[in-house]
Structure 1
Amino acid sequence: MIFAPLLRPATYARWLHLMLGLVFAGVMVLVYPGVEGGPPLRTALLAAAVDVPVLGLLALLPAVRRQEGVQARLLLVPEREESIGVAPSADWADRGRTACWLVARVVLGVALGGATARAIAVSGDALRAPFGPRALLAPLALFALLWLVVLAGRLQLALAERLLGPSRAERLAAAEARAERLLERNRLARELHDSIGHALTVTVLQAGAAREVADPAFRERALEAIETTGRRALDDLERMLVLLREQPEQTAAEQPGLDRAGELFAAARAAGSPVDAELAVRAAELPGVLSREAYRIVQEGVTNALRHAPGAPILVRAAVADGALELSCRTALTGGGSSRRGGGKGLRGVRERAVLLGGACAAGPDGPDWLLRVRLPLRLGR
């Protein structure tokens, strides 16, 4: 529609932005060479000779690029705000682009200011003339001026995205930040899956056993195990929510390490699965990240054993050999639970943890048992 761009608020915001460039040129003309004496062309050339060096000097200030970026975002109304940077100049390339932007902004502002003055003059002359064909020049001149404003605003926006847009280093930093956020979200998803999945598995098994067994003492132990597991899951959930909400003033609970693996084994025993655990390594001797990830891997192994083979014995081993932490979790291949075929998100999470730490993971049948084996190097890569 031919009138649609003329009705958008962005058109007039861009007009204001263009007129600010005219204001700068006008101030410079008043300062030097002045408005008196000499032909207009000579005055314009002298003003330009003064404006360009001044704009070049302004562009040397890193904060000028930030200020111009903020103003362009507010008044030029880009579709994507990130297309115009708001970071200060970081190198000479940024300063050069800022100088080109300042000169282009002033030139466009002066050109549009002259066109605006001319259109207003033509419209005024047409309105003062006797009624006739010449009177039609007034609306036509204003219509042409508004469309000139639309086109000049689009050109100004394109220049801003080109000259004030993020540099290559800024785009790389933004891409790395997005990748870091994605990795963090994936890590939190794995943490929630492991923690809440384990808690729900233990809770379901304990509740089912308590319903089937008539012994009041067993029911009491089952309810106590459900309460303990639920509280631990709530602590993990609260820690995850603090991280997701990005509230630095709150302190997330410390992530559990391998030293708390005994709690997993106690919960499994309370659910009716005997656990034979041999941890020939002290958590304090491991790097913090290795201890935490090892805990989550053991947790996933125990949870899978409870889910797929409830009541079957679980053998857990952890030892250091050849500069690596070796973890294994063995249980019956089949049981009263669901089938193991295909693997789920839990095993994928274990593999991802192992790969991120430079290790390896293997899971599958081993004779009559199901065996999960993970090897994590003690010296983590950079």
Structure 2
Amino acid sequence: MPRILAPLLSAATYVRWLHLAVGWVFSGVVLMVYPGTYGFSLGGIVLRAVPADVALLVLVAMLPAMRRAEGVQARLLLMPEREEDIATEPARTWADRRRTAVWLVGRTALGTAVGILSVLVPAAAFDLLFRSEPRPPGGLELPAGDGLSWYPLLAPALLFAFGWLVVWAGRLQLAMARRLLGPSPAERLAAAELRAERLLERNLLARELHDSIGHALTVTVIQAGAAREVGDAAFVAKALEVIEDTGRKAMEDLERTLVLLRDTGEPGAVRGPGATPGAPGAGDARERPGIEQLPGLFDTARSAGSPVEAWIDVPSGRLPGVLSREGYRIVQEGVTNALKYAPGEPISVRVTLRDDRLELRCANALGGAVASARGTPRRGGKGLRGIRERAVLLGGEASAGAESGEWVLAVRVPLRLGA
């Protein structure tokens, strides 16, 4: 019973009824102007009024603003679950105008039918309740006789049926609006591409924050803990210097990311890792660290107590800027993971530029306690997922796992995107 009565008590039903009544009012106004209601039979009125209504509606639908006005009204009165199902943009193509014309004609026809019944059905219910000779709509004749006393019982059933007619008419009107006023397939595709682009932008920014700030916090925690344990004044001074330098670099990275966040008002304002320096939304790509800044990163790791052996075989000027920046972030994440999960263990890094690809390898020894406690550590973490995403975006591949007592991160990316 609640499921049967709920739609009849819903506010959406009566708001949609109001939307249907607007079409009926429009049809009535046109009827008063042409052909009028005097001197014609019902069939004659219909034959003259319908062509006039349709011609006027089709003519009005040619105005681009009409589609926008109908979309706004449909959103307000038809109450769709998702507003984006009904567009509020003006017509841009002839296909949009044709769909708007079909919508106006269909909306007016349905609204007129429901509007006429909105007058006839309550009047018939009143007759059944209070008149001695009830006259139902449509000219139907009820049997006469002593059985007239049960006719008032038909009034609630008639009103109930009409209520559900309004419910289904409103739902039909909403379905028509989604179909005829909703975005076209091309517009839906463009909206999906825009959503995907914005999601990619947010993921890129989140990855930048994770890599830079995560590395800075890891180094800071390790340095602070080591300084507290050692207690040597010279070591403490060096640790504070490293913490200060690391914090300053993290603040610079954070500021660059915040600048990108402030500039995301326009679609595509934030470019991906391959943004061209100086292009709109590219930010300060030229100031972002690259492969040439790796020695400073290694010095920070060494100061945190982890020996680092590095081989960087990249001729100057041979590596594209985007690969240099992304290569730095990948190595930074590898070193950060080594400091976090195997502090104090040796780290080896190899960066090699081949004829057609860039190869990055970061390995750290797994101590017995760490290996036995964690088995295969770090699998599926956000940092490793970010590395894989960077490699895929650059057209390459990444792998990570335990090999012969070491945790090895290996990344290979082509020198040319799409190679």
TM bin (shorter chain): 0.7 to 0.9
1:164 paired with 2:181, answer: yes
- Out of 157-166 and 207-216, give the one that drifted further: 157-166
Name which of 393, 396, 406 aligns with 1:356. Answer: 393
Name the CA shift for 1:151/1:283 in 2 (closer, same or farther; >3 Å): farther
Counterpart CA distance in 2 for 1:34 and 1:187 is 66
Name which of 296, 308, 314 aligns with 2:329. Answer: 296
- Give the 3-state SS of the residue equivalent to 1:3 in structure 2: helix
Counterpart CA distance in 2 for 1:336 and 1:238 is 39
- Unmatched tracts of structure 1, length 5 or more: none
Name the CA shift for 1:284/1:111 in 2 (closer, same or farther; >3 Å): farther
1:257 paired with 2:294, answer: no
Q: CA deviation at 1:139?
A: 5.7
What do the CA deviations read for 1:140-183 (whole angstroms, capped 9, x no partner)?
65544433322221221222223333332233233333433443
Counterpart CA distance in 2 for 1:283 and 1:112 is 78
Aligned partner of 1:322 in structure 2 is: 355
Name which of 211, 224, 239 aligns with 1:207. Answer: 224
TM-score for both structures, normalised by structure 1: 0.83
- Out of 135-144 and 32-41, give the one that drifted further: 135-144
- Conserved? CA contact 1:257–1:288, under 8 Å: no
Name the CA shift for 1:140/1:337 in 2 (closer, same or farther; >3 Å): closer
RMSD: 3.6
1:310 paired with 2:312, answer: no
Counterpart CA distance in 1 for 2:378 and 2:227 is 29
Counterpart CA distance in 2 for 1:378 and 1:49 is 67
Counterpart CA distance in 1 for 2:19 and 2:91 is 21
User: Percent identity, aligned pairs only?
Assistant: 60
- Give the 3-state SS of the residue equivalent to 1:372 in structure 2: strand
Aligned ranges for residues 68-147 of structure 1 at < 5 Å?
A: 68-122=70-124, 129=131, 133=149, 142-147=159-164
Aligned partner of 2:273 in structure 1 is: none
Q: CA deviation at 1:279?
A: 4.3
1:49 paired with 2:51, answer: yes
> 1:39 is matched by which residue type in structure 2?
S
Counterpart CA distance in 2 for 1:139 and 1:246 is 61
Name which of 44, 57, 60 aligns with 1:58. Answer: 60
Aligned partner of 1:151 in structure 2 is: 168
1:381 paired with 2:413, answer: no
Q: CA deviation at 1:209?
A: 1.3
- Give the 3-state SS of the residue equivalent to 2:213 in structure 1: helix
Q: CA deviation at 1:51?
A: 1.5
Q: CA deviation at 1:81?
A: 2.5
- Conserved? CA contact 1:308–1:334, under 8 Å: no
- Conserved? CA contact 2:26–2:108, under 8 Å: yes
Counterpart CA distance in 2 for 1:283 and 1:78 is 59
- Conserved? CA contact 1:325–1:375, under 8 Å: yes
- Conserved? CA contact 1:308–1:340, under 8 Å: no
- Conserved? CA contact 1:283–1:291, under 8 Å: no
- Unmatched tracts of structure 2, length 5 or more: 134-147, 270-280
Aligned partner of 2:376 in structure 1 is: 341
Counterpart CA distance in 2 for 1:279 and 1:105 is 71
- Conserved? CA contact 1:210–1:222, under 8 Å: yes
What do the CA deviations read for 1:21-67 (whole angstroms, capped 9, x no partner)?
11221232233223443223212221111121222233334433332
TM-score for both structures, normalised by structure 2: 0.77
Q: CA deviation at 1:116?
A: 1.5
Count of aligned pairs? 382
Q: CA deviation at 1:332?
A: 3.3
Q: CA deviation at 1:365?
A: 6.0
Name the CA shift for 1:207/1:66 in 2 (closer, same or farther; >3 Å): same
Counterpart CA distance in 2 for 1:41 and 1:168 is 41
- Conserved? CA contact 2:305–2:343, under 8 Å: yes
- Conserved? CA contact 1:29–1:35, under 8 Å: yes
- Conserved? CA contact 2:345–2:367, under 8 Å: no
What do the CA deviations read for 1:176-227 (whole angstroms, capped 9, x no partner)?
3343344344434433432333223212321221122121121122123223
Aligned ranges for residues 261-276 of structure 1 at < 5 Å?
A: 261-276=294-309
> 2:40 is matched by which residue type in structure 1?
G
Name the CA shift for 1:33/1:274 in 2 (closer, same or farther; >3 Å): same
> 2:390 is matched by which residue type in structure 1?
R
Q: CA deviation at 1:73?
A: 1.7
Name the CA shift for 1:284/1:92 in 2 (closer, same or farther; >3 Å): farther
Counterpart CA distance in 2 for 1:285 and 1:62 is 54
- Conserved? CA contact 1:69–1:84, under 8 Å: yes
Counterpart CA distance in 1 for 2:317 and 2:88 is 45
